[in-house]
Amino acid sequence: MPAEWAPHTATYLVWPHNRDTWPGKFAPIPGIFARMAAALAHFEPLRILIHNASARDEVRALLRATPGPFGDPVRLDRIELLPIPTNDSWIRDHGPIFVNRVSGDATTTPGQIALDWRFNSWGEKYGPYDFDDVVPRRLGERYAFPVVEPGVVLEGGSIDVNGAGTILTTESCLLNPNRNPHLTRAEIEEFLRVYLGVSQILWLGEGIAGDDTDGHVDDLARFTAPDTIVTVVEEDPADANYAALRDNLVRLRAMRDLNGQPFRIETLPMPPALLYDATRLPASYANFYIANGGIVMPTFDCPADDIAATTLARLFPGRRVVRIPSTDLVWGLGAIHCLTQQHPAP
């Protein structure tokens, strides 16, 4: 599996239509998606799944009225609208995960395949997910790429790879009995090795407060280079995230790469606790997306936004950082990375 910073053929996005995802706060969401789409299309082709063909004109009109991230016109020529039904917008978790097959011997044919892991709505937490579960197949039919089903539950937000044989994940999610209760830790690791082409699995512990995914790693820690991991930290001992994030930081500092060398560990702040209707929301600067030439990151209208943006600009020299206000967006319990899925170049 290529690292996210490897060149992309395109990014996938699912236009919002499920009002239950943002109860009482859906009105601003399409406009935020339009800003995300304009930012992504500035950097690379964007493929947006729309629930049905009748939504095409409305979505296109909103996109046309949205400026690009740097005051430029939105790149409509890079945006394709695909009438593919979905239950929800979290394509990071139910979309295809691409791997590039490299030639290892005479029996192996180089090429790219999409993995269609089973999706069960994060442990059967929410309503129907039948449309979401077949999105990789529908996209494979549309773009003629081969699709392989490993046969176990896995969400894209639960893993992060460095493209050099190492994967980051969490015990709280992958070992949760609501995913694959019939598999042991060793068996799950074997699936990751076989299907994602990794040699080393690095385990973090718990996720952040408010995360209904049981602790996806894309709210915690991300590779920014083969030897570098950026992780979120909470400085307030009274905050609900303090202990879990300290534990993860200790684990990260003890980890070694495949050559036995320590990883370079960088940190991002956490925004102040974000609540809506007395519900703690999973706001995290780790939920950024790496595009061709850019970083699209969530912001939460607080001073930590500037610190996070400066840190990401330093960690990704040569890529322009685009901020997407996400205080309303995260009421759906996810942000930028959760809503995007990369199609790496073969």
Q: How many CA atoms lie within 13 A of 49 on its CB side?
A: 28
CA distance readout (Å), 120 to 125, 180, 337 = 8, 10, 19
Instruction: Report DSSP state, residue 68.
Output: P
Contact (CB, 8 A) for 258 and 227: no
In sign, the C-alpha dihedral spanning 62, 89, 95, 55 is: negative
Catalytic residue among 338, 339, 340, 341, which? 338
d(CA 336, CA 289): 6
For the chain, the structural domain boundaries read: 8-344
In the chain, DSSP assigns E strands to 8-14, 46-50, 79-83, 97-101, 111-115, 147-148, 160-161, 166-170, 200-204, 221-225, 228-233, 264-269, 275-276, 279-280, 289-291, 294-299, 320-325, 340-344
pLDDT at 13: 98
Could you confirm whether 173 is annotated as catalytic? no
Residues of the chain with pLDDT under 50: none
Domain 8-344: CATH class, spelled out: alpha beta
Residues 173-184: pLDDT tens digits?
A: 999 999 999 999
Instruction: Report DSSP state, residue 19.
Output: G
Helix ranges (H only) for the chain are 29-43, 56-64, 91-94, 121-124, 130-133, 135-143, 171-174, 185-196, 242-254, 304-315
pLDDT at 106: 55
